Structure 1
């Protein structure tokens, strides 16, 4: 009999012996056939050949792309599109001394716009997306699929077989990429450093979500004083706070509606600033176009020295909101962002800066209020400017939560057409409160601008570093091009960072403080999550315990299906004996359910469930790993139960046929009639060891199927009798599962209390016993996040010392 034998001792797979069953299942569900060869419950995960290259781009027709491009105008570009409100005033804080300084700053602005947003982001970074998802966490997950960098040891060989996983097998010509993967995979220090870098960037982006609305709204409302000079700064602040509250109140509408609502205003805004820019250029000084000559930049630094370097802190504000193009990518697509930026944003904003420079050559004393000639549109556009980073924050928090790096929050999908458009109520209100506080405390755009630049440039530098890793490992780009990217673009960003850091004590400390708080939250949450997983892995239940349990006659079997939840994907969690001690009973069908988030955005529904059967089979204990991408949402309880039971019955069907040695699980009409005629299977318990099984992973142990057709035949009497027995067993088992489902499904959940060991350091005890406990109690609980119905939930408390 052909068999694929798994040895738990040697960790080797007899692939040759398993080839026949794999081939026989080619016409069936693809994942079952693939899983004949690899079993992560008994094999070390990750040693598996991989498939093709990960695509990462969601394809849309041009009509849909243009609609998304129009929407993106109202969501992505408000921030960078309203930067002309304050860039010149923030750069020339001490006034304009020479006309050539205007040309030099205009040259700096134009080349900064071309190099950073256009070349770096639009033509390079956007393509480093993870299946259409952008942001630093998307880069991290993309890297983590190509190198073993996850700090949670829950990798399984089967994950690489998912259709959305898609890796490229390294060859001898790609030794460099493999060397980097090995270094990252083998160095805990590098893994931690990469993780900290990622959550630092994420924290900075969330900080941008606080600062962007504050500076955008406050700068526009401040312009009212041009028309109403009697307004005090306090009144301007109050008006700004009211507008901010209204802005955050409309977020529940979702990106789709907000984008269509805001886009027409932004289109009018871009038309006006571009048109006014052309008018000013023609009327005042067309010779400012000489700023395209970079020589003015060189002369500017020679002439002004340190003051020129300091002024870069104002120039960099012309690219605030650039990261939103990448962070908001999941709401749109690459082509939509490229079209809207290249065709609308860049020309309009460039003309606005050129027009302002032309005006300032004639009226340099008006540098502080150059832009407030179109106040009503400026206010509306500045309100919309806040939308870019708010939407971006929602996206990256959803991603980080999916990878266990952020406490559980409620994620609402606001569009049925575009999967990536989400709204997070708790985060929305937290951002609103933070924005109101920042606006009320700082009260001026100058102070907030000092804070703003540090967050913007830090995120850009981290993105450059992560994209360089993607180039090395995933794209396998030439070292020459990677070097140019890092040295040229990274060098420019480093210069800007050095300039904005000079304003640290003038307000720049704010994003750093916000980032430290958020990093602590995310880092502690992830650290405890990793320790929790490792504790369960080290204390998982042995096979001997299950064997003893099967022989214990005092254990009661309860009608229905029990779903015992645990994060552990390898083995049976230690909470199970605790349940048995407290309630000495087992459901007629018990499934150990592990909800697992993968470093991919989406898992196809027909690949979501991964089953194993735990020996001895008569206990009807199953292990089920339910796999989700970080952008997938949990199903409602009813839908989840139906999907799980459907896949469980399919697994039982394939398990029985392959275990019986039948090369094909198809049921012929003759077999159906023979089953109907009365062939009844009976099972004999084997003496084999207790182990977890995946399909036909071990034929040498387990039950031997015999038929009792007319009281005379057995499995070796005839092929027809054997097939009939197998069919009868399949029908019996699937009917049993269906009947138990109809009796009810009960959810079993361990209420795990994580505490630091008494011998731990005071820092660890503070982090685990205080900070983590506060977060856990004030954010959504596990049963709420998994949509478990309260009426069918049973919790048992247990404490883990880590």
Structure 2
């Protein structure tokens, strides 16, 4: 994430408040650009509908954003970090099926990351066409979005520092503009009464369309939670008071403008720009465009963080993750950058105008909201919250979010199919990768390592076997310290006997916490066979070469191990021995024993493997010190094979 990641900022402070304005509220903060335009896009403007719509917006922001996310969900922090995969990490041990809402939430959030830049930047730039309808807005939008994705590879930490002040200008501007227009139709204040929201939903003939459009006011709520680790919950909660006030003032101001234009059809007019004085319009468009770019940047950066977590949790293929600056949390994922860019361009190509995008927006993120609700319920169970509160939470938010889902369902035929298709594609990738790994693990056989202690000790000293490496390292998935994959033993003893001075067994355990770098050392055969267990947080880089080197340096300094080469000349001059990593690539040789859904998953896995990093690159190993061995996971059984020997 392109932000300052500092523990001091997680405490309530002026700097933390300013940074939270810059990176947390971009998406939800730019929603006034298109919400009322979406609500009144088709029908005639009437005072009752205006007051009902404002009431719906106010109570949606209160129920969904303030109560669900700001007050409740922010408590589900994983060592200070938030987001749907952080939340899943907290509750995944409670039920295996929770991977489904986690993957649904992550895939729909990524799909939302494709449409957010398109709709926010289009809505902002289209202001230029108010006085000049022939102005080519689409090429300008394409240019801005293209530049935004190009600069990602260089890191955005410098830009990140100015996000806060710029968004302070944005929120102050929309708040003042809205407040200045309320006195034109002060009756909009009645919208604070929830009666008008309920009355509109129950009695308005086109209520489902209205519900789907109203949902757009809270689409950025998930970002409040996802980016919690960059600012801390206290800063988010306090700054939300200011943000919500500015948003409500702007919505009420737009509502007042609509009431003064009752009986009209909105058409291509945007109430957001209509409440601006003519002399301010150009400046307003510039400020809106900057805010839209910041909102898009936050969504893109959030997608990088999400994918990096998904890779560590084995629900996304291993991909290149770069760190373009020294700033903690600053990520760049080239493959996701390309996917998001293509997705954005596809949405612009299909819909062209923001008014068309509004019809598709919100459907995918609605599913993220529902997924978060399911995971939060399990978090509450884990925290032993009173069952009555959990039932009340579930009842309220399933009712609200399923109602929104039904309303958003109307959008499927108006373009919502595209965002659902994008989300479904991402879901299939995540589910196939996760399930294939489970299928592969089911076929891995383990052996008791203790019975091999004598032969490994003797092999290490056997001068009739040529030395394969001074220090030989294997990666293992065995959680039990007394077990080892049968294939590792086969590689050492059978495939080509591998003599080494020291055999290292390395195991990586991805923890439920985001930031952890712990390790344990077990000398299974002192000085001959050593097991290192790394416990790494799901946001930590898995640079095994570097981590292992650091562990060995510490062990050498403490006199726990001697890594001096045993070759006479090198030993004489105390030269350290060479290291060699043996990576066993497990290959499925026969899928006939799997059921047909598993066969489909394994076929998809084979395709995805072509786009994934190799095992050595995925674990951050130096390829010049790696020997790759392909081993079959399931060797065909000869028991049923009939042969006849003839003379």
TM-score (norm 1): 0.71
Is residue 472–residue 500 contact of structure 2 (8 Å, CA) maintained in 1?
A: yes
Counterpart-to-counterpart distance in 2, 1:267 and 1:499: 33
Question: SS of the counterpart of 2:42?
Answer: coil
Matched, 1:120 2:104: no
Corresponding residue for residue 13 of structure 1: none
Is residue 85–residue 309 contact of structure 2 (8 Å, CA) maintained in 1?
A: yes
Corresponding residue for residue 333 of structure 1: 232
Corresponding residue for residue 251 of structure 2: 353
Shift of 1:640: 3.5
Work out which of the residue numbers 780, 784, 789 in structure 1 matches 2:617: 784
User: Cα deviation per residue 1:51-95 (whole Å; 9 max; x = unaligned)?
Assistant: xxxxxx996368874323322322222221111111112112323
Is residue 207–residue 511 contact of structure 1 (8 Å, CA) maintained in 2?
A: yes
Matched, 1:642 2:550: yes
Work out which of the residue numbers 59, 64, 87 in structure 2 matches 1:139: 87
Counterpart-to-counterpart distance in 2, 1:133 and 1:449: 31
Q: Which moved more, 1:639-648 or 1:267-276?
A: 639-648
Work out which of the residue numbers 4, 12, 19 in structure 2 matches 1:71: 19
Shift of 1:785: 2.3
Matched, 1:508 2:416: yes
Work out which of the residue numbers 199, 215, 219 in structure 2 matches 1:316: 215
Is residue 394–residue 427 contact of structure 1 (8 Å, CA) maintained in 2?
A: yes
Is residue 330–residue 395 contact of structure 1 (8 Å, CA) maintained in 2?
A: no
Corresponding residue for residue 630 of structure 2: 797
Is residue 109–residue 318 contact of structure 1 (8 Å, CA) maintained in 2?
A: yes
Counterpart-to-counterpart distance in 2, 1:354 and 1:316: 17
**Higher RCO by CA contacts (8 Å cutoff, separation 6 or greater):** 2
* 1:189-204 to 2 correspondences below 5 Å: 191=96, 193-204=97-108
Counterpart-to-counterpart distance in 1, 2:394 and 2:35: 26
Corresponding residue for residue 87 of structure 1: 35
Corresponding residue for residue 583 of structure 2: 749
Is residue 565–residue 577 contact of structure 2 (8 Å, CA) maintained in 1?
A: no
Q: Which moved more, 1:315-324 or 1:527-536?
A: 527-536
Shift of 1:744: 2.1
User: Cα deviation per residue 1:645-673 (whole Å; 9 max; x = unaligned)?
Assistant: 424776x85xxxxxxxxxxxxxxxxxxxx
Counterpart-to-counterpart distance in 1, 2:510 and 2:375: 22
Instruction: Give the direction of change, closer, same or farther, for the CA distance of 1:741–1:440 in structure 2 (3 Å limit).
Output: farther
Shift of 1:794: 1.6
Shift of 1:236: 2.4
Corresponding residue for residue 765 of structure 1: 599
Work out which of the residue numbers 262, 278, 281 in structure 1 matches 2:163: 262
Corresponding residue for residue 278 of structure 2: none
* 1:533-682 to 2 correspondences below 5 Å: 533-536=441-444, 538-540=445-447, 543-550=450-457, 553=462, 554-558=464-468, 560-570=470-480, 571-576=483-488, 577-604=490-517, 608-615=518-525, 617=526, 620-635=528-543, 637-638=545-546, 640-647=548-555
Matched, 1:396 2:306: yes
Counterpart-to-counterpart distance in 2, 1:406 and 1:611: 30
Shift of 1:212: 0.7
Counterpart-to-counterpart distance in 2, 1:111 and 1:492: 11
Is residue 516–residue 536 contact of structure 2 (8 Å, CA) maintained in 1?
A: yes
Counterpart-to-counterpart distance in 2, 1:406 and 1:361: 49
Counterpart-to-counterpart distance in 2, 1:773 and 1:472: 38
Is residue 82–residue 385 contact of structure 1 (8 Å, CA) maintained in 2?
A: yes
Question: SS of the counterpart of 1:747?
Answer: strand
Work out which of the residue numbers 272, 284, 307 in structure 2 matches 1:371: 272
Question: What do you get for the CA RMSD once the two structures are aligned?
Answer: 2.7
User: Cα deviation per residue 1:11-70 (whole Å; 9 max; x = unaligned)?
Assistant: xxxxxxxxxxxxxxxxxxxxxxxxxxxxxxxxxxxxxxxxxxxxxx99636887432332
Question: SS of the counterpart of 2:584?
Answer: strand
Unaligned runs of 5+ in 1: 1-56, 150-180, 185-190, 654-732
User: Cα deviation per residue 1:416-442 (whole Å; 9 max; x = unaligned)?
Assistant: 45x334332221122112111111122
Instruction: Give the direction of change, closer, same or farther, for the CA distance of 1:120–1:91 in structure 2 (3 Å limit).
Output: same
Shift of 1:226: 0.8
Corresponding residue for residue 276 of structure 2: none
Work out which of the residue numbers 379, 384, 392 in structure 2 matches 1:470: 379
Is residue 321–residue 388 contact of structure 1 (8 Å, CA) maintained in 2?
A: no
Shift of 1:568: 2.8
Shift of 1:557: 4.6
User: Cα deviation per residue 1:143-165 (whole Å; 9 max; x = unaligned)?
Assistant: 13xxxx3xxxxxxxxxxxxxxxx
Counterpart-to-counterpart distance in 2, 1:461 and 1:497: 9
Matched, 1:252 2:120: no
Is residue 645–residue 737 contact of structure 1 (8 Å, CA) maintained in 2?
A: no
Shift of 1:449: 2.1
Corresponding residue for residue 15 of structure 1: none
Shift of 1:133: 1.6
Shift of 1:210: 0.7
Counterpart-to-counterpart distance in 1, 2:58 and 2:575: 66
Question: SS of the counterpart of 1:540?
Answer: strand
Question: SS of the counterpart of 1:208?
Answer: helix
Shift of 1:772: 1.3
* 1:201-240 to 2 correspondences below 5 Å: 201-231=105-135, 235-240=136-141
Shift of 1:203: 0.4
